[in-house]
A and B are shown apart, each in its own frame.
Chain A
Amino acid sequence: MRLVLLVAQKDLLIERRSRVLLWQVAPFGLMTLVLCGLAVGPNASTQAKLAPGLFYIVMTLVALLVINRTSQLESSRGTATSVQILGIDPGAVFLGKGLAMFIQLSIVGTALLAGTTVLLHVPLHAAILTLPVLLLATATLSLAGVLYGRIAASSANAGTLLPALALPAFAPVLIAGERAFSSLITSGPLARWVWLLGVALGAYACVGLLLYGALEES
């Protein structure tokens, strides 16, 4: 646990120094949200109906940026070597990077949720109630992202390879998040989507703890 927190703290400290989240990722997310609004037309009721799906598409794209950024932190040969020499437990690295990514995505996600509420006319009560589901979705995206980021890292064209590998796997998170958000607006069934996200989160956590070491060795 201590190692997990150290790794997470290190990643968050690097982010605080570089401020990539603040100056690059968040503006990208916001601009994409605006583009979504423009793409679906000015009708407020259409925008409100499509808002949950559009929000989660934007979140998925933002997640890709954050994942790419996080996996690039150790991509240079010198940094990768010096970190390998430390011999940190791979399970701790996996969870630590996942935790750092979760915190970053949650911050951006919450800001984007507020933006969605305003720009795409989502009822405020639904936006507030969807926050726990958003946190569950970002946790899932984070753990999955650490794995897929590691798979793609150090490969040729890692930046373009990552979306090809990760986006299909993110589809269930997109679906579950959108359905849950829509259910909160229309008072539809919610439990099954929360359950699905929980199962996905558990699955990624187990696979990551088992196999992250093998990825690090490669």
Chain B
Amino acid sequence: MKQLTRRALGPLALASSVATFVMGYFITPPDKVQGELARLLYIHPAQAWVALYLSFGAATIASALYLWPRTRSMVADRVAASAVEVSTLFIGLTLLTGSIWGRPTWGVWWVWDARLTSTAVLGVLMLGYLALRRANDDPQVRAKRSAVFAILTAINIPIIHFSVMWWTTLHQGATVFTQNRDLKIHGSMAWTLLLSFIAFSLDFAWMVRARYRIADREAGQRDSELDAALRARRTESAS
């Protein structure tokens, strides 16, 4: 069952992404206000969801699991690192698609809006995490410092969000639901939006899994190198 799920992940992610593209580009009508520009809404919110909540949420939970002695394992560290890499990619994509949408809408490529700014700051924090991982060779040291940094970042996110939100905001208001939680968009647009969230979530899972497997293999290689070095050292001591 586990193997079936693993094997199905890639094809499912691909199929749902293709379906989102087809529906978003060919099937759904243009918006009556934003026109064709509205098609970016089948990409941008889902990317933001993956970047800010799914990947960074996974990284935070994995980091906390690593720091808790009872659940500490290098698996948690590798999951956290993989999730952060994916998060960084999706943050970049979120900002890019947001800029593409914002240029014709607001007239500029960038505004100091609360959500944009918070996302950008989080992106820089993710780059800091990746820089930190490159600065430490020892796996245990790297894992511990990265995990603490991830927890600090998780705590910082709401603080950053509120500080920038109170500072200013221009971002699109609630697009999908009204204040009474009634759906604002309908029909094929609503389904395509839902599909995009599912597709990007599956993409996230597939990417994290792929990245984890690479990290796992690298760790296995290091273990093999250590075993070889141990044999060599033991031979040296025997001779």
Contacts and interface: CB of A to CB of B under 8 A. Distances in A.
A and B in direct contact, judged by CB atoms within 8 A:
yes
Interface of A: 144, 147-148, 151-152, 155-158, 161, 164-165, 167-169, 171-172, 175-176, 179, 192-193, 196, 199-200, 203-204, 207, 211, 214-215, 217-218
B131 A175 contact: no
B160 interface: yes
Interface stretch (B50-58, B147-155, B187-195): B147-155
A218 B124 contact: no
Given A168-B160, A196-B166, 18 more contacts: A151-B132, A155-B145, A164-B128, A164-B131, A165-B131, A165-B132, A168-B122, A171-B121, A171-B164, A172-B160, A172-B162, A179-B166, A200-B159, A203-B155, A207-B152, A214-B147, A217-B144, A218-B144
Nearest to B141: A218
A172 B159 contact: yes
SS class, residues of chain B in contact with chain A:
helix
B125 interface: yes
Nearest to B123: A168
B163 A169 contact: no
A144 B157 CA distance: 14
Nearest to A189: B166
A178 to B, nearest CB: 9
Interface of B: 67, 121-122, 124-125, 127-128, 131-132, 135-136, 140-141, 144-145, 147-149, 151-153, 155-156, 159-160, 162-164, 166-167
B127 A171 contact: no
A165 B128 contact: yes
16 contacts: A144-B152, A147-B148, A148-B152, A151-B149, A155-B132, A155-B135, A156-B136, A168-B128, A172-B162, A199-B159, A207-B152, A207-B155, A211-B148, A214-B144, A217-B144, A218-B141
Given A169-B153, A175-B163, A207-B155, A218 B131 contact: no
A155 B159 contact: no
B151 A207 contact: yes
Nearest to A217: B144
A81 B166 CA distance: 46
A214 B156 CA distance: 19
Given A151-B148, A218-B141, A169 B125 contact: yes
Contacts of B155: 203-204, 207
Given A171-B121, A175-B167, A217-B144, A165 B162 contact: no
A94 B155 CA distance: 18
B150 to A, nearest CB: 11
Nearest to A206: B155
A196 B148 contact: no
A192 B167 CA distance: 11
Contact of B136 (A144, A155, A196, A203): A155
A207 B150 CA distance: 12
A203 B159 CA distance: 9
A28 to B, nearest CB: 23
Contacts of A211: 67, 148, 151
A158 B131 CA distance: 11
A164 B128 CA distance: 5
Nearest to B164: A175
A172 B163 contact: yes
A161 B163 contact: no
Nearest to A179: B167
Contacts of B167: 175, 179
B163 A176 contact: yes
Contacts of A192: 166
